[in-house]
Amino acid sequence: MTVLLLILSVVAGVFLGKHFGKKEKLAKNLLVLSAGFLITICLNEVFPEVYTAGAGRSLGIFVIAGVVLQMILEALTKGFEHGHFHHHSERNILPVALMVGLFIHAFIEGIPLANEEQALSPYLMGIVFHNLPISFILGAFLFNRKEGTKGNSYPSLLIVALFALASPMGMLLGNYFNPDLQPYFLAIVGGIFLHISSVIIFESNKNHNIDWTKIGLVIIGVSLALFMHLFHGHLPVGHQH
């Protein structure tokens, strides 16, 4: 079920991006909505789970490591996760670099799912909500480029396949890790989530005017995450006690 959801979230996003990718406003709105959901999952689910794991204050270092890691990955993806690919020349986003950056990003997110026992947990849904807009942008970028030809379909499909399988592969590898390492991986992912969602939400609006649509979408995303938080009894990842 978990693997299927992870793969379908990417496939669905790419499909929508391929057919509706020219609607830049739609892509932006999906990103903002997912960012509101993601930062709420991060603060209400991931961080409480991390800091109640009994591993001490050192876990904060791993949260910071996640932030720094995401900043490094964005050197490869050029801020692709924030929907910023249109700010750069497409030639500056090498498919190999994009593939590596997105794969590492999604792979690490999948590792904490190895010990997940809840169906449709908030953490899992956070990844799913996060995958949809990124995959939408990915589909728009790969299949709607001006210079795109049939010859480009193979590497494009390869990038999509690797991105779709990255989190399931991370989850598979996580089964071989000591469960005591779970909080550390979760802390790293928390840092990644925090960085991405905060950049999307807090980046400056044009002329610094109030963007009521953006605020509304963030509130909707936050509300959805809070509903899921209450529905699952405040236990995001791991065992119910």
Least confident window among 49-63, 107-121, 227-241: 227-241
Mean pLDDT of the chain: 82
Q: What is the mean pLDDT of residues 204-213?
A: 72
Q: Which of 6, 18, 229 is nearest to 113 (CA)?
A: 6
Sequence ranges of the domains in the chain:
2-17+45-231
Would you say how long the chain is, in residues?
Answer: 241
Structure-block tokens of residue 173: 């590898």
Contact in structure between 16 and 130 (CB atoms under 8 Å): no
Least confident window among 15-24, 55-64, 138-147, 229-238: 229-238
Count other Cβ atoms within 10 Å, centred on residue 94. 13
Give φ, ψ of 56 to 5 degrees.
85, -175
Structure-block tokens of residue 31: 């990103």
Q: Which tens digits make up the pLDDT trace of 100-137?
A: 888 999 999 999 998 777 777 888 988 998 899 889 98
Residue 206: what pLDDT? 64
DSSP H or E segment with residue 184 = helix 182-202
DSSP state of 179: G
